[in-house]
Amino acid sequence: VDESVPPETLESRTLDGLAKYIKEGRAKRIVVMTGAGISTSAGIPDFRSPDTGLYANLARLNLPYAEAVFDISFFRENPLPFYTLAHELYPGKYRPTVTHSFIRLLHDKGHLLKLFTQNIDCLEREAGVPGTKIIEAHGSFARQSCIECKASYPDEDMKQHIAAQTIPRCLRESCGGLVKPEIVFFGEQLPAEFFMSRGLPAQADLCIVLGTSLTVQPFASLPSMCSEGTPRLLINQEVVGGLGSRPDDVLLIGDCDTGVRRLADACGWRDELETLWANT
């Protein structure tokens, strides 16, 4: 690090350097990796922020430990805590943030290779990122099925149960198993398409990590799969996942909506971004 340059100048220079790299057309295969931090400004709590995070506020569900709410063996024993929470988290009540719109803008401009998200709120889709560009590594509420016989379960019935906070059961008489949205619980496998796409970070010419603690594997390993020499940008309230360890890493530590606006400004995309978001 050039000691003679004050840190903020270094940061803005690297941010400006990154914007230059993008504007010169050298970032045509951007891989974006997101977590709950990009949806907090939409009103959806993240998981691990000390006071506001979901795991700090589940005491009312008297769980043995916070992550039990998303644990498949606990769910089998007691599905009620999950369905109480699902009522609060169910998509449809929230609007995408300007960070979601920034990812959509990257796609519109032909720079987005793939978005890997850990979020289950479907806000990326609602922001207009095409499904073909999204890997929902931890699943989503988009579909639901019986955890015993795997039979799919009708969307309308699910919406009614979520609204009423009641427990949906498999419609097959001989089964009657618990129905669960296809969210990846602790103890379950990630979707096959996650593993099929794990070669993409190595093909990226820019990696952008937004709003995640990078604490849950195997998602947390994605940024390290980028080739040496590929710039990696972290926009997050805290330094995570070894970002900053490589010479081409750029760290924007702070709010992600503020960070994406700064990058949009540097790229000359700010008006486009605000218009896109205003119409979402």
Distance CA 17, CA 233 (A): 11
Q: Which is nearer to ligand APR, 51 or 228 (CB)?
A: 51
Choosing from 256, 266, 273, 276, the residue that interacts with ligand APR (CB under 6 A) is 256
CA distance from start to end of the chain: 40
Q: Where are the alpha helices (DSSP H) in the chain?
A: 7-23, 72-77, 80-89, 98-108, 123-126, 155-164, 192-196, 200-203, 256-267, 270-278
Residues labelled as active-site residues: 138
**Encoded tokens for 233:** 């940008």
Q: Which is nearer to ligand APR, 161 or 261 (CB)?
A: 261
Query: Is 241 a residue that touches ligand APR (CB under 6 A)?
Result: no
Q: How many residues bind ligand APR (CB under 6 A)?
A: 24
Nearest to 248 by CA among 27, 33, 99: 27
* Residue entry with tokens 């840190």: 7
Query: Is 223 a residue that touches ligand APR (CB under 6 A)?
Result: no
Only one of the segments 101-109, 155-163, 170-178, 233-241 lies at the binding site for ligand APR (rule: CB under 6 A); that segment is 233-241
Only one of the segments 141-149, 173-181, 191-199, 236-244 lies at the binding site for ligand APR (rule: CB under 6 A); that segment is 236-244
Query: Is 96 a residue that touches ligand APR (CB under 6 A)?
Result: no
Choosing from 11, 108, 148, 255, the residue that interacts with ligand APR (CB under 6 A) is 255
Distance CA 264, CA 8 (A): 18
Query: Is 46 a residue that touches ligand APR (CB under 6 A)?
Result: yes
* Residue entry with tokens 């309308």: 156
Distance CA 138, CA 134 (A): 12
Only one of the segments 71-79, 128-136, 200-208, 234-242 lies at the binding site for ligand APR (rule: CB under 6 A); that segment is 234-242
Which residues would be at the binding site for ligand APR (CB under 6 A)?
35-37, 40-41, 46-49, 53, 70, 118, 138, 211-213, 215-216, 236-238, 240, 255-256
